[in-house]
Structure 1
Amino acid sequence: MNIIPKEENSIESLFNKAKQLIKVFLENKKSITDIEGSKFESIVFDFLKEAAIGTTFEGKIDLISGQKFPDIVINNKIGLEVKTTRSKNWKTTGNSVFEGTRVDGIDDLYLICAKLTKPYDILIKPYEDCLTEIVVTHSPRYLIDMEIDPMDSIFNKMEISYDDLRKSENPIRPIIDYYKSKLKDGQSLWWIDEDNTEKRTLTESNLVMQVWNTLESNRRAYFCALGFLFFPELISNSKNEKYSRFSLWLVTSQNIICNNVRDIFTAGGIGNIAELGNKSMFSKNKFPRILINLFQNLETIKEEIENLTFEDFSHHWKDYRKTDSPKEYWISEIKRHIDSDNSYSVTMKQNIIKQIRRKLNIT
């Protein structure tokens, strides 16, 4: 990567001017729901051209059409890839490891990422300095984190340069070797071919398979909380089918194999729930373990439901709309399953929902 000279006609100066123009544009726009993808690429392109007026880059900025990489080429040799995120962090999926659509002649490559949640922000950094891990969707892709130290990039971890990896005849081999060297007991690597279009979510690296019992207790508790959040049917009084979606999610999204998903939520028998007082339809004022587990995970559920995006929820929740409140939607689903359980009295059902709403700070 060439060192950027700090002068008026430097690429750094061009990026800084464009960055400020884009931020002002976002802050003055009433709605930004329609500016992701190719539309935001055009916005970046337009402001780069404006920033380039009177510099050596004027008239030398091109928007690359079609499925090419990167999205914008400057002076025929500098590439700029455009990304957006609507989460509170700076993480998103990057491009394919194979880079089969890369434009010829690119010497230096940068990444611009816009955070489309208030306060809006823009970061522009060298491409290779933002790639932290490799994940698998329909093909191996880089995981972008705009906030990492360049020393924590995936290339420093693998001890191979970005250019050496992308130019190698088999870029997958060093990737597999790296992740294989990091395996612990109970873990293995998995692989899917490019024709498998199954959607997988972002994890630290989803090349690694792991058995549930080998996870640390805090990780098991976290996935249990996400289970209740994404799959509220877990609280229903139906039989084994209520665990099906959670079980598939563990494997396909988190690469976790669990031999007995039911035990995650029900093992341990009945017990007390302080928030529900002393009245119960169960003997000796005890409640079923799955309800106890739900209450024990409400703090994590509250935190996650406030941070996750519409896309996260809509992937799991049927009929969920952008205008819906995530908390209210989830509560309504929990209430529906509680109401269908004849083990509880009407008063107890009302108390359960009341206390859950209180825990989630819903008035």
Structure 2
Amino acid sequence: MTEADFEALLSKVAYQLTVESQRDLFKTSKEFETRVREVLTETGSGDMNIDFDPHPHVFPDIAIGSYGVEVKFTTNDTWRSVANSIFEGSRNSSVENIYVVFGKMGGSPEVRWGKYDDCVIHVRTSHVPRFEVEMTSRESLFKKLNIEYKDFSVLPADEKMRYIRQYARARLKTGERLWWLEDSSDQEHSLPFQARLYMNLDQQEKRRLRAEAALLCPQIVKPSRGKNKYDDVVLYLLTYHGVLCPQARDLFSAGSVALRSDSQRGGNYVRRALQDIETEMLEAANRLENALFVEYWEKSVRPENRIAEWLARADSFAEGWKPSEVLFLNRESHNTSHPR
């Protein structure tokens, strides 16, 4: 069967299913997918050999020789739907050309078909990045990525993620951050199923998270009147650790943290809070993955140079004091030496 023959078959199938849906709506995705298989069998040649009981997670849903059909269904009045994972771990290896048959039961019921690579228009970056398809005239995601789907689909997972990260970063608005930063498929990161409140964490974890956030966000040393200086701290804790901190300023300027190592009141509470977690910040500088520094500092920095880079950035933010004159004065003993 040629590509033109298969597409002509899909046109007949879509037309028949549209007529049927306008006469009697399909109620569920399972009912619709079963009927797609039946109409393909009835309309096509007798040797199509369609499997009516495939593995529930196989991609695409229907395999017909080298052709495949992914079935999408909605009871809403929309032509847009979440599709499969970008990693396509359960892809049928015999399928080379994939199409979408989409049943829209909301509004005016209709069934359409399209080439899969033309219909994929976006990636939804949830726990597992997933394609989104739309059956209207929109620019294909793969045109935006400047790679053809057939080439993208055979890339290793880490190569796919490089394309998707670049696409996602280009769409970020001011103040937004990516939560998925892995450089390779074996560096999996996922959020906890339940968000946690910062105040309920044990002291050791609080210190570790405060140190990570302080390291990535040196703007916390800005004067108290500085706007949005804690925004990135809040976003980091929430998007990377699933930790909600309603009062972010208390992480570094409250007496409960600033007076921990020196009970005398007054002075620069942010400076004193940072002095108290220097050891944890040094450890974080050596431990955190480079992708985080690319994300938050917009540059790659080697672990041994990160404290020096942080001090330079903090000096540019602070007013009335110079972090490099009072913080990390003994860092050479922690394997992070770098001349100031």
1:197 deviates by 8.2
The yes-or-no answer on 1:15 pairing with 2:10 is yes
Extract unaligned runs of 5+ from structure 1: 200-250, 261-363
Please state how far the C-alpha of 1:105 moved relative to its aligned partner: 1.5
CA distance, structure 1, for counterparts of residue 77 and residue 87 of structure 2: 29
User: Is 1:67 the counterpart of 2:57 in the alignment?
Assistant: yes
Letter in 2 for 1:93: V
Q: Deviations over 1:152-208 (max 9, x none)?
A: 111111112212222111211211122224445323212285765869xxxxxxxxx
The alignment partner of 2:90 has SS state of coil
Q: Are the equivalent residues in 1 in contact too, given 2:76–2:107 (CA < 8 A)?
A: no
Q: In the alignment, which residue of structure 1 is the partner of 2:144?
A: 157
Q: Which amino acid aligns with 1:158?
A: L
1:111 aligns with 2:100: yes
Distance in 2 (alpha carbons) for counterparts of 1:177 and 1:24: 42
Aligned 1:216-227 pairs, distance under 5 A: none
CA distance in 2, matches of 1:46, 1:197: 42
CA deviation digits over 1:42-73, x for unaligned, max 9?
Answer: 11101111111xx3x64333343321111111
Match of 2:176 in 1: 187
The alpha-carbon distance between structure 1 residues 51 and 258, as it changes in their structure 2 partners (threshold 3 A), is farther
- Paired-residue identity, %: 28
Correspondent of 1:147 among 125, 136, 141: 136
Alignment partner, residue 39 of structure 1: 31
Native 8 Å contact 1:128 1:162 kept in 2: yes
Where 2:100 maps in the other structure, the secondary structure is strand
The answer as to whether partners of 2:78 and 2:106 remain within 8 angstroms in 1 is no
Taking a change above 3 Å as real, the CA distance of residues 50 and 140 of structure 1, as seen in their structure-2 partners, is same
1:22 CA drift (Å): 1.3
Which has the higher Rg, Structure 1 or Structure 2?
Answer: 2
Aligned to 2:251: none
Which residue in 2 is equivalent to 1:102? 91
Contact 1:131 1:154 in 2 (8 A): yes
Contiguous gaps of at least 5 residues in structure 2: 182-187, 195-237, 248-340
TM-score normalised over the length of structure 2: 0.50
Change (3 A) 1:100 1:91: same
Alignment length, in residue pairs? 194
Please state whether the residue corresponding to 2:51 is helix, strand or coil.
strand
Deviation, structure 1 residue 80: 0.2
Q: 2:126 is matched with which residue?
A: 137
- Alpha-carbon deviations, 1:291-337, whole Å to 9, x = none? xxxxxxxxxxxxxxxxxxxxxxxxxxxxxxxxxxxxxxxxxxxxxxx
Q: In structure 2, what is the Cα distance between the partners aligned to 1:32 and 1:127?
A: 23
Question: Residues 181 and 23 from structure 1, CA distance in 2 versus in 1: closer, same or farther, beyond 3 angstroms?
Answer: closer
Aligned to 1:78: 67
For the aligned residues, what is the CA RMSD? Answer: 3.3
Report the Cα distance in structure 2 between the residues aligned to 1:146 and 1:164, rounded to whole angstroms: 22
Aligned pairs (5 A) from 1:1-363? 4-5=3-4, 10-29=5-24, 32-33=26-27, 35-36=28-29, 38-52=30-44, 55=45, 58-63=47-52, 64-74=54-64, 76-149=65-138, 152-169=139-156, 170=158, 171-191=160-180
Give the deviation of 1:258 after TM superposition. 11
Conserved? CA contact 1:137–1:198, under 8 Å = no
User: How many Å separate the matches in 1 of 2:82 and 2:149?
Assistant: 17
Question: Which residue identity lines up with residue 26 of structure 2 in the other structure?
Answer: I
Q: 1:18·1:44 contact (CA, 8 Å) conserved in 2?
A: yes
- Give me the whole-angstrom Cα distance separating, in 1, the residues matched to 2:79 and 2:3: 24
